[in-house]
Every structure is written in structure tokens, then in C-alpha cells.
Amino acid sequence: MNIRKIIIADDESIQRNVLSSVVRKIVPPLTEIEICVNGKKAFEKIREGGTDLLITDIRMPVMDGMELISLVARDFPQIKIILISAYQEFEYAKSAISCGVSEYLVKPFRIEEVRRLLQKMDEEIGEQRQTTETQNQYEHLLHQFEKDNQQKALAALLNGQKPPEELQAFNTNALNHPGITILIRWNIRVHSEIISGTFSAGRRQKSPALLSGLSDYQQERLIKRLHILFPNGFFVPQEKGMDVSECRIALLLPGCDTDDSVRFLNKLAEECSSEQLLFWAGISALQDNLLSRLPQSLQQAEEVLSYYFYYPAECGIFSYADMNELFELPMISISGYETAIREAVHTGLDSQLSKCLADLKKELLKDPLKYPIKVKHRISSMIVSIVRDLDGMITQQAYDELLNEAYHLYGGCSTFEQLFSISLELLKRSCAYFTQESGQYDAVEDIIAYVKKHYTEDISLSMLADRVHFSANYLSMQIKKKTGMSYVSYLTQLRTERACKLLVETDRKVADIGTECGYRDSSYFNRIFCRKFGLSPEQYRKVHKKC
């Protein structure tokens, strides 16, 4: 079937549900059906794109059917429309056909009539689609090769590289004039695994979701408007970064100045905001010769576009001519905040660290706003430094996971709010480990008691560390704090003290005593014993038995 998406608009719930049920039985399972209670909601759905057929009632609140079909006929003439009408509205419905309505469905409708109309609409949509594709195919093939080569050559020039030999035939004379570069960014909707903002055992909690952004139709609409606004511009798509939802396009504008571009884009931003089409633009300074200054102009556009960081929920137009002095502003000193946050984390004061971070956030939002790259680098460096304080204190696996998590999250961070949300989560996680640490002395006592009971067995430091979920280095450090000696020295002392007792009080063989004390290798036992007492086990026995 050619119909892929149907929208039904009707304020009468019974009629709406019956009609949608009938349509669902007729069309294939994959056909999308959207139900709307008035014309306004229906038009909002149509704006999202992909609609092939609209079935609408005439009388509805907020926006009636006649207003809806006039808007659809104006903005989306390719959409087929079936108008639902009562018998007494027949003449009214007939006149609506001249406004773009394809067919009408008289109430009360019959299933066979619905089936007939859907089949007719499906055939017309198929023919319309085939005609459009045929008309566009040759033009597309004709221009695609030229367009691809042009974009490849421009991309090389923007990066300060010489285009490959086969692309050097591209005529760059149009760029050999004063002009500017505009870098435009928008976000698209993508299915992805996103971070829910919580941590568990050092791992990210993930859930499949649809990231907010422009639909395919909205993206196409934005690009068309940009082409209309700048008909003589050169459009060069940019590579994606870590944020898969982000799209960027460089717009090269010879013969255009900064003021005009700002004015045009601000007007476009006003129009787009009302339709929830968000985009952001960074505008370079006017270059005396755009061709020779392409890399520099792109860098300027990138620098000002980075201020998207502070305005992710509204359109933003950023001009280098107005903002270049901001890049030279020094980053404020945050060492005092860092000390307070580190102390709050180390002492397990969750509420205190939240307050300190909130105060820092408030300070950074004061005018003039600091260069985003500097802010992101300084804050992420501070938090990673605090996370590193856990080295040797928790298991190596937990430490590595938390640190890798920090690098990954900050790498994909693109807004000020994200920066502080990520930072708070990482600090809370670290704080929890330090809170855990305050109760770890009891765990060390338990380990020491275990060693006293099982020292004759084959017990390694790593095995003991696993019992209490510590790293081996951290456990050794805690045992030394408690006993005054390293784990190996403490274990050796317990074993040799037992050996001394058995050597003096029994006549058992030295090898058997060594085995009972945890030394399976008699030579190794003799060597350890001599190192500690300066006597072999046999010599020790002779000396002390005489006493």
C-alpha cells in the first residue's frame, strides 16, 4: 500500500474511535494512524512530516475542518484530504473540494465506502509519488556528482588543505571576494542509548529513548528556508562529533556582510521558534578575501557557536564581531570552590557538596559569560581530580569504571546544564565511596581477626581484599595503620611465633612444623625463619630448649 501515514481529526469520540477502528482493519499493520481531537492538533502532527492522507470532520473546536484543510492545501499540497460531513452539510463539503479536498465521506458512513475511498486515495498517492520521483530522478543524477565534488573541494579548503587533483577543476572565483562563514547547528531525533543520570556500582544506567530534536520533515524545512534566505551561499555539511544527534553545516557567503546575516537569521529564528524548529548559528567576522581565509573564518564561527552551550533551549545567533573580546576574558579562580567541594566529598557531606557546586554554577552564570571551552575544561578537570582521590581506596575495577565514566560523559557533554548534572552525579558517587570508607575500619578489624584464625592456610592479600571489596593496595595500607606493619610482615610474625612455640614445646620435625604454620616448602620456611631470628629452626630449638 502507498499510504504510510493517516491522520484522523474528529472531536466526537465515538465517531473518531469507530472510524479509526474501521480504517485500521482496512490498511496494512505497518500503516501509521494518528488520532486528533481538533484541527490544531492535527496540523501540529502534519508539520512533523510523513503524512499521506488526512481524514477530517468539518465542525471541531479550536480549529475547524475548513481552516485545517486551507492550511494543509497551502503548506502541504501533496497530502490527500477526505472531508467527513453530515448529509445537511453536503453542499458545504462540495465547495470544500475546490479548496483542495480530494473526497468526502458522508455520515453515517459505511465500511465499504471507507474502503473504496482509501483504495482510491492509495492509487492517487502512488501515481503522484511515481510522477514526482520520475521528474526528480534525472535532475538528481545530473547534479549529484557536481555537488559532491564541490562539497569535497570546499571541505578541503575549509580545513586548510589543498583539494585533491581531480577536484581542483572546481571554480573558486565566486569565493574570491569579501565575505563571511556561518556555521549552523541543529539537533535531530535519533534512537539511542542515553544516560538516565543515575549510577549503580560505577556503571551507567541506560535506556533506549528518542532524543529530542528535529524530525526529518522539520530538518528538511529548515534547510529549505536557509537556501531561500541565502540563495548564493555554498553549503558544506560538517562531520558529526560524539553527539550523534548534532548536525552542522558551514555556509560560505561571498558578498554578504555580518549585519545583514544577523538580521536575516534573527528573523528566521523568530519564525522557526514559533514552529519549535530550533537552530543555532555562529557568524565569522567579515573577511577581506573569503577564499584565502576560509579556515580562519570557520574557526571564528566555531568559537562563537560554542556559546550554544548556554542556550540549548532557544534559537541562538552568535556573531564574532560582537563577541570576540569574550574569548580573551580569563577564567575566574575556582580554587576556593574546589577546596570546599573536595572537603565535602572526603567527609561524606552530600548536601554540602551539592550546595558548593550550586554556588559555583551560579557564579559562572554571571555576565559576561565565560568562554564555554574554558569552563568545560576547568570544571571537568576539577571533578576528575577529585575522583582520582579514590585511587587505591576502592577496588581497581570500581575505580577504573568510575574514571572511564567521567571521561565518557564529559566527552559527550555539550551544554552548561549537562556539565553540572554530570559533575554532581560523579561527586555524589565519590562521596558515597568516602562515606563507605568511614566504616571500613571495622572491615579491617574483621580481616585481621580472619588472618589470626586462618594464618596457617594459603591466604593471599588479594583474596582477603576481595572479601571486603577493597583493592589489595588499600587493604595493605589499612592493615599497616592498624598493626604497624605490612600484611606480609604481619602474616610472617603470626606464623613464626607459632613455629617458635612448637619448636620449643614439641619434638616434631621442622618440616612438619613449617607445614602446620603455613609453609608448604621447608626450604622456604628455613629461609624466612633465619631472616627473622638469625638462627635456623634447629638452632633456635637447641638454644631455647637448654633454657
The 10s digit of each residue's pLDDT in 511-528 is: 999 999 999 999 999 999
- Contact between 203 and 193 (Cβ < 8 Å): no
Structure-model confidence comparison of residues 194 and 95, the more confident one:
95
**pLDDT reading at 137 higher than 70:** no
**pLDDT reading at 30 higher than 60:** yes
Which amino acid is present at 450?
A: Y
Q: What percent of the chain has pLDDT over 70?
A: 86
Q: How confident is the model at residue 365 (pLDDT cuts 50, 70, 90)?
A: very high
Instruction: Please compute the mean of the pLDDT values over residues 373-390 and round it to a whole number.
Output: 93
Q: How many CB atoms lie within 10 A of CB 520?
A: 10
Instruction: Please compute the mean of the pLDDT values over residues 345-362 and round it to a whole number.
Output: 91
Q: What is the model's pLDDT at position 196?
A: 35
Q: What angle do CA 34, 36, 39 make, to 5 degrees?
A: 125
Identify the weakest region by mean pLDDT among 206-220, 364-378, 476-490.
206-220
User: Per residue in 160-196, is it b (16+ CB within 10 Å) or e — as a string?
Assistant: eeebeeebeebebeebeeebbbbbbbbbbbeeeebbe
What is the DSSP pairing of strand 5-9 with strand 32-36? parallel
**pLDDT reading at 420 higher than 90:** yes
Q: What is the model's pLDDT at position 91?
A: 55
| 480-484: long-range pairs with CB below 8 Å, 24+ | 481/444, 482/441, 482/444, 482/445, 482/448, 483/448
Instruction: Please compute the mean of the pLDDT values over residues 146-170 and round it to a whole number.
Output: 73
Q: What is the model's pLDDT at position 49?
A: 84
Cα–Cα distance, 529 to 540 (Å, whole number)? 9
Instruction: Please compute the mean of the pLDDT values over residues 489-497 and round it to a whole number.
Output: 94
Q: How many CB atoms lie within 10 A of CB 357?
A: 21
Could you tell me which residues are beta bridge partners of residue 182? 251, 283
Q: What is the model's pLDDT at position 191?
A: 41
